Every structure is written in C-alpha cells, then in structure tokens.
Amino acid sequence: NAVLRHNDNNKWYGVVLEVSTDKLGLPEADIVDVLNVKSDPLLIGSLRGQDGYFPAYHMNKEKWLSIQLGKPELDHAIKDLLSLSYELTAPKKRSKKSSAKNPGDSAKGESWV
C-alpha cells in the first residue's frame, strides 16, 4: 500500500491498495492492485462502465475512482487521471484582496479624505 500526497497540504491525490476482487464486484476470488484517484464526477460516471474502472474502494464513490493496475492498456489513462487528481487536490490559490474600501476607487484616483 502507498499514499501519494501533496507536500504542502498533505492531501491525498492517489492511493495504491491491494483489494479483494469481490469488494470490486468481480466474480473471481483474487487479490488485485488498484489506484484510487480523485476525479470529476461526470468523468467517473463514464469510466465506471469500462473494464478496469470501479467505484472507489474505501473512498467517496462520487469523487474518487479505483483503477485496476497491471493492465497495460490503462497506463496512459492512469497517468492522465493521476495528473487530474493532483490538480483537484492541490492547495487553492488565494486571490489578493484590495486594500481600497471600494474596489475601483483607487483606479479612479478618488480618495476618502
């Protein structure tokens, strides 16, 4: 098992797990490696019907997706989804707040004296 997390906010963007296939809804009794990633709910809905994609094991199933590892045909998709997960869990950038009481006043050259 491994957790991939951001250095600055410690949020997870990926989790590698060994999971029993019955927990993923597969008929055979086996253990498989999966990668859990955060993703867009619309994308998750379209991927879940494809081979190798499952509702996230042990995570929020609306925002996380499990991808079966060891399937070479999914390697490119895994890289893209891991990159998206990294972006979705990155720290939010704060916008600079204006020191003017009314935005735009300083641009007009007005003052409150």
Could you give all domains of the chain from N- to C-terminal order, each with its CATH number? 2-89 (3.90.1150.30)
Instruction: Determine whether 94 is exposed, middle or buried from the number of CB atoms within 10 Å of its CB (0-12, 13-18, 19+).
Output: exposed
Cα–Cα nearest to 35, from 48, 52, 47:
52
CA distance 67 to 102: 50
**Whole-prediction pTM:** 0.76
pLDDT tens by residue, 13-61: 999 999 999 888 888 889 999 999 999 999 998 998 899 999 888 888 8
Q: Which residues pair with 66 in a beta bridge?
A: 36, 54
Residue 38: strand, helix, or coil: strand
